[in-house]
Amino acid sequence: MRGDSFERGDVFWAPDPYNIGGDPRPWLVLAADTIPYAGEEYICAGLTLSDLPDNIEVSDDDWIAGNDPEKTSYCSPWVLATVKHDAVAGTQGYVTTEFTHEIIQRSVEYLTEDSV
């Protein structure tokens, strides 16, 4: 987090648009400064504790800060959302640039696979 806004690689908690009325979930910021309304909105991928097919494990080496050693997190590169800054409920930490780029690449593959 830089100042009052988040940046690529940050992980925060915000509402889950796919589970209305449920608890917030962790989100990995994929784009922050490169989108319209920088500092007000973020393109994010959802994190989960579920080890589902195609989820990518966030290993201890991927976390720079904010890891819970008692739990294993996974990122779902197809679960994408634009999260408004005002919706952020709390911060978790941040992951490596390499992990973030891997998730971005996988997300792009999901978005472009049928259009090639």
Cα separation, 29 vs 12, whole angstroms: 8
Position 48, amino acid: T
Cα separation, 41 vs 30, whole angstroms: 11
pLDDT band at 4; cut points 50, 70, 90: confident
* Domain coordinates in residue numbering, the chain: 10-111
- At 115 the pLDDT is 60
Q: What is the 3-state secondary structure (H, E, C) of 19-84?
A: CCCCCCEEEEEEECCCCCCECCEEEEEEEECCCCCCCEEECCCCEEECCCCCCCEEEEEEEEEEEE
pLDDT digit string, tens, across residues 6-58: 999 999 999 998 888 888 999 999 999 999 999 999 999 999 999 999 999 99
pLDDT digit string, tens, across residues 22-31: 889 999 999 9
Q: Which fold has domain 10-111?
A: SH3 type barrels. (2.30.30)
